[in-house]
Amino acid sequence: MALKNTSTTVTSLCSIPTLFLSLTLICTLSVTLFFLFSNPKTQTQTQTQAPLHHLKVYISDLPRSLNYGLLDTYYSSSTFDSRLPNNPRHKIHIPKNLKFPPYPENPLIKQYSAEYWIMADLMTPDNLRTNSFAKRVFDLNQADVVFVPFFATLSAELQLGTNKGVFRKKVDENKDYERQREVLDFVTKSQAWNRSGGRDHVFVLTGNVSVLSCS
């Protein structure tokens, strides 16, 4: 009888770790499945992601001289900004005829570069753009807004750096004034402006820009 009881006890004791191991595996599997299917990355793989609603932007066809051409003017000038020490680090030499010149390192100019980066984003091909809320369209009728790519701040800073005394004055020596006048003449005669009266047009103005009236 003693041997029989011993055998029963051994069998009973061996079943306890087996049962514990089984329960552990079940719990582990359950937790794993829970985190797997509650993970947003997993869900996006199994569900159709909602399309991103872009702001559709049409770019006004301004002459290059009013945006990237101003960078050509800046880099081709032999005159340093009169407001800065004559430090060559503020002005680098770049190859001529670049389609998209880099923005100046001049700290007085670089801090006001929003229009440059907006333009750069819109000009970047769709397959190279990520997480952008805006999408360039080439059909005016599809556009939500019309972006006017005038590098207004750079235009103003070029004038301030060369002849600050005439800044904000309507004189021939104020090249910034002439450029602003050219922008308004071009834009207000365009089909896009006539369609909306300019209500959907976007001008980016930062820093020391002195703005002319569209009227």
**Torsions phi, psi for 108 (to 5 deg):** -75, -20
Contacts of 138 (CB under 8 A, 6+ apart): 58
pLDDT at 91: 58
Indicate the pLDDT class of residue 14, thresholds 50, 70 and 90: very low
Query: What 8-state DSSP symbol labels residue 178?
Result: H
Q: What is the pLDDT of residues 158-170, one digit of tens each?
A: 898 888 889 889 8
Answer whether residue 191 shows pLDDT above 80. yes
Question: What's the average model confidence in pLDDT over 75-98?
Answer: 68
Burial 179-198 (b: 16+ CB within 10 A, else e): bbeebbebbeebebbeeeeb
Residues in a beta bridge with 136: 57
**What are the percentages of helix, strand and coil residues in the chain, rounded to 5?**
55, 5, 40
Q: What is the pLDDT of residues 93-124, one digit of tens each?
A: 677 788 899 998 878 788 889 999 999 999 99
Cβ–Cβ < 8 Å for 167, 160:
yes
> CA-CA distance, 156 to 112, in Å (whole number)?
11
Does residue 194 or residue 207 have the better pLDDT?
194
Answer whether residue 212 shows pLDDT above 70. no
pLDDT at 114: 93
Per the prediction, the chain carries an average pLDDT of 76
pLDDT at 28: 46
